[in-house]
Amino acid sequence: MQSSLEEIGSESFVFTPDSRNMGSETMRAAKVYRDLLKAVKKNIGDSGSKKHFRDYITDEFRKNASLSDQAAIESKIKLAHNYTFLLNSVHHHKELLFSYNIAVDRTDEMKRVLRKSAASVGLRLPDVYQP
């Protein structure tokens, strides 16, 4: 299984200030935007109470769409990329802590994993009787 950290960390992220590459800058900004929204959905969630994260990102990208200063554009794209990397890294770190069982009660997590595994083969785990 390839971790989210490896997926993001393996990309080379080089900026070229040449004005001929404006199309590639647009493509790069779109890719970073999509990656950031995916990271927010995966690591923070997309329920109604957490919608403001996605709204803020969308508003920031729309607000900065008309920037003409190449350095400012590069700075904003790099900031979004770094935040994506941070979200994925923190999520990966949390998964590692859970997997090493460091000061965490994992019973609920294990129940969830077992239910998911059983459901994938068409079974349902019985509810445990607790007096």
pLDDT in tens, 47-95: 888 888 889 999 999 998 888 888 988 999 999 999 999 999 999 998 8
Q: Rounded to an integer, what distance in angstroms lies between the CA atom of residue 24 and that of residue 74?
A: 12
> Comparing 128 with 60, which gets the higher pLDDT?
60
Contact by Cβ (8 Å): 74, 19: no
- Break the chain into its structural domains and give their ranges: 4-120
What is the average pLDDT across 38-46?
A: 88
